[in-house]
């Protein structure tokens, strides 16, 4: 695509096509395609318009990376029986001599991220030790004699993004609770320094720095839309290059959240209508509480999707809209949310401890006594109690007459028929 918005196709192929990398010469493309059924790697030479298939695996190939001279490729795929597994491979530029670097345990997820400027180092990610970490693979003595040095700790999830031009340092994104902070590592000394930003989500743009050496990054907070900033590693200062537009709105009116935490053993404090839970290992749950400032304030509990997802301190116009209308919002990073490692994710899947000990039972057909209006002081309901003045564990609609009657009007929700007809609670 040209700067004036005109575009033309370079590769046209049946199935899905996904661009992985562009060679330093600008004439070589490394891309994935499902043309033959499974997503594999292809190499395209722009001047000759010739396309060559490089890999032929039964499972999808991802994270393709071209070495600076185009003589080698790195990618991730899985040839084991462990479904979650992902290994890093290095092959010649034509796909031959593929070798599994075997840098992580079976069942862990490892990926190539970036080649060093000399092509003798490979930046990788891996979560063998539970939380994601960064690694630098030394290929100077060949693939068979490759060694890897790991960086990071068991405290925070870190995702590497790229080598800096000197090849001695690299950048990684560190998740600290509900914020994301870029970290610069010195690969030789093993030292790291977190960049100085306000609490929010900061992500570096992959690519060459500016002419003066500053790094381009995207910065957003809960009360500020994403902005383009330039960060000076020498002074630890940043400058806004391209600010956000707010139209008629004043960003000072937007609300920043309070970080809340509570301990959970996996057993719901509400009456369990359809499932019994045995206690699981205690786990600290974190969330973001946006207080509208009004009293009483209705509370909207807004859980993220996923479960491989995470609510962070980044701008969300839907949340700010609700706040402007007097609603407070609670976002909870429940068990299995991203940013806490593999074991945290497994704790909410069918292979985890808590769900496997759950005993399902049918929902009773008779109405239970409503607990609407009861106040709970224990976490995590403290926030709701503070905002609304009360907490409802179960709302039970009891329409006059028999349940399921098409003519009955519910005295609680005033709908005909009651949408909870046939159920004891909702």
User: What SS3 string covers the chain?
Assistant: CCCCCCCCCCCCCCCCEEEEEECCCCCEEEEEECCCCCCEEEEEECCCCEEEECCCCCCCCEEEEECCCCCEEEEEECCCCCCCCEEEEEEECCCCCCEECCCCCCCCEEEEEEECCCCCEEEEEECCCCCCEEEEEECCCCCCCCEEEEECCCCCEEEEEEECCCCCEEEEEEEECCEEEEEEEECCCCCEEECCCCCCEEEECCCCCCCCCCEEEEEEECCEEEEEEEEECCCCEEEEEECCCCCCCCHHHCCCCEEEEEEECCCCCCCCCCEECCCCCCEEEEEEEECCCCCCCCEEECCCCCCCCCCCCCCCHHHHHHHHCCCEEEEEECCCCCCCCHHHHHCCCCCCHHHHCCEECCCCCCCCCCCCCCCCCCCCCHHHHHHHCCCCCCCCCCCCCCCCCCCCCCCCCCCCCCCCCCCCCC
What CA–CA distance (Å, rounded) separates 227 from 243?
5
Domain end marker among 189, 204, 228:
189
Average pLDDT over residues 277-295: 83
Average pLDDT over residues 149-165: 91
Q: Is 382 a domain residue?
A: yes
153 within a domain of the structure (yes/no): yes
Report the share of the chain in percent with pLDDT over 70: 76
Residues 138 and 115 in one domain: yes
Read off the pLDDT band of 306 (50, 70, 90): confident
- The dihedrals phi and psi of 174, each to the nearest 5 degrees, come to -105, 130
Q: Of the candidates 157, 204, 358, which has an alpha carbon nearest to the alpha carbon of residue 276?
A: 358
Given pLDDT bands bounded at 50, 70 and 90, which one contains residue 282?
A: confident
- Total number of domains constituting the chain: 4
Q: Which of 193, 153, 141 is nearest to 169 (CA)?
A: 193
Residue 307: which pLDDT band, with cuts at 50, 70 and 90? low
Do 164 and 200 lie in a common domain?
no
Mean confidence (pLDDT) of the chain = 81
Q: Which residue has the tokens 């009861």?
A: 374
pLDDT tens-digit series, residues 339-368: 666 666 666 654 443 333 333 333 333 333
Q: Yes or no: say if 226 and 218 are a contact pair by the CB < 8 Å rule.
A: yes
Asked if residue 6 belongs to a domain, the reply is: no
| Enclosing H/E stretch for 217 | strand 215-221
Q: Does 361 lie in the same domain as 231?
A: no
pLDDT band at 425 (very low <50, low <70, confident <90, very high): very low
- What whole-number percentage of the chain has pLDDT above 90? 60
- Please name every residue paired with 33 in a beta bridge, in sequence order, or none if there are none: 17, 40
Give the per-residue pLDDT at 388: 45
235 lies in the same domain as 315: no
What pLDDT was estimated at residue 163?
A: 96
Q: Are the C-beta atoms of 34 and 47 separated by less than 8 Å?
A: no
pTM above 0.85, yes or no: no
**Residue linked to tokens 């030789």:** 188
Q: Does 21 map to a domain?
A: yes
User: Are residues 210 and 145 part of one domain?
Assistant: no
Please indicate, yes or no, whether residues 81 and 172 belong to a single structural domain of this protein: yes
Look up residue 19 and give its two tokens: 């661009």
Are 289 and 257 in contact by the 8 Å Cβ rule? The answer is: yes
The secondary element (H helix, E strand) that includes residue 355 is helix 353-356
Residue 60's domain is classified under what CATH number? 2.120.10.30
Q: Is residue 10 part of a domain?
A: no
- What's the pLDDT score for residue 399? 37
Range of the domain at 278: 258-388
Q: Is the pLDDT of residue 311 over 50?
A: yes
Run of H or E residues at 45: strand 40-45
Say whether both 39 and 87 belong to one domain: yes
pLDDT digits (tens, 9 = 90+) for 198-240: 999 999 988 889 999 999 999 999 999 999 999 999 999 999 9
* Between residues 130 and 308, the one the model is more confident about: 130
Same domain, 159 and 31: yes
Q: What is the pLDDT of residue 275?
A: 62
pLDDT at 153: 81
> What pLDDT does residue 310 have?
84
Confidence of residue 299 (pLDDT cuts 50, 70, 90): very high
In a domain? residue 2: no
Asked if residue 380 has pLDDT above 80, the reply is no
Task: For residue 160, tell me if it sits in a domain.
Answer: yes
Domain check: are 301 and 352 in the same one? yes
Q: What's the pLDDT band for 372 if we cut at 50, 70, 90?
A: very low
Is the same domain home to 85 and 154? Answer: yes
C-alpha 136/C-alpha 147 separation (Å) is: 8
86 and 208 both lie in a single domain = no
Taking each continuous run of H as one helix and of E as one strand, the counts in the chain are 4, 26
End-to-end Cα distance, the chain: 51
In a domain, 144, yes or no: yes
> Are both 65 and 135 inside the same structural domain?
yes
Spatial neighbors of 151 by CB under 8 A, at least 6 apart, are 133, 134, 135, 136, 158, 172, 185, 187, 190, 192
The residue-averaged pLDDT of 409-421 equals 47
- Give buried/exposed letters for 36-60 (b at 16+ CB in 10 A, else e): eebbbbbbbeeeeeebeebbebeee
């Amino acid at each position: 695509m040209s700067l004036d918005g005109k575009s033309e196709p370079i590769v046209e192929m049946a199935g899905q096509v996904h661009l992985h990398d562009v060679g330093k010469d600008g004439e070589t493309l490394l891309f994935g395609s499902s043309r033959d059924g499974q997503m594999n790697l292809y190499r395209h030479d722009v001047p000759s318009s010739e396309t060559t298939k490089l890999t032929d695996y039964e499972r999808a190939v991802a994270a393709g990376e071209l070495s600076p001279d185009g003589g080698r490729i790195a990618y991730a795929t899985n040839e084991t029986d462990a479904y979650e597994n992902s290994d890093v491979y290095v092959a010649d530029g034509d796909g031959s001599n593929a070798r599994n670097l075997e840098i992580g345990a079976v069942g862990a997820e490892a990926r190539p991220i970036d080649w060093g400027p000399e092509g003798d180092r490979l930046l990788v990610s891996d979560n063998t030790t539970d939380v994601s970490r960064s690694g630098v693979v030394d290929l100077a003595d060949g693939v068979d004699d490759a060694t890897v040095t790991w960086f990071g700790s068991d405290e925070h999830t870190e995702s590497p993004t790229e080598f800096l031009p000197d090849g001695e340092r690299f950048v990684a994104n560190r998740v600290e609770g509900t914020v994301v902070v870029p970290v610069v590592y010195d690969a030789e000394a093993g030292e790291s320094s977190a960049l100085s930003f306000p609490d929010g989500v900061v992500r570096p743009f992959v690519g060459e720095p500016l002419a003066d050496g500053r790094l381009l990054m995207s910065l957003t907070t809960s009360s500020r839309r994403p902005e383009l900033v330039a960060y000076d590693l020498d002074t630890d200062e940043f400058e806004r290059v391209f600010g956000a537009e707010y139209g008629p709105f004043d960003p000072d009116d937007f609300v920043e959240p309070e970080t809340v935490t509570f301990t959970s053993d996996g057993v719901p404090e509400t009456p369990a209508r359809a499932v019994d839970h045995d206690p699981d290992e205690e786990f600290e749950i974190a969330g973001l509480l946006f207080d509208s400032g009004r009293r009483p304030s209705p509370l909207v509990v807004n859980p993220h999707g996923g479960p491989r997802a995470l609510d962070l301190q980044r701008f969300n116009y839907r949340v700010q809209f609700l706040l402007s209308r007097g609603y407070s919002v609670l976002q909870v990073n429940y068990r299995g949310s991203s940013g806490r490692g593999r074991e945290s994710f497994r704790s909410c899947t069918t292979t985890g401890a808590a769900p496997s000990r759950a005993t399902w039972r049918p929902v009773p057909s008779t109405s239970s006594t409503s607990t609407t209006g009861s106040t709970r002081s224990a976490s995590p309901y403290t926030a709701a109690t503070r905002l609304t003045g009360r907490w409802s564990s179960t709302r039970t609609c009891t329409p006059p007459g028999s349940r399921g009657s098409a003519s009955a009007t519910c005295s609680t929700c005033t709908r005909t028929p009651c949408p909870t007809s046939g159920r004891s609670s909702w």
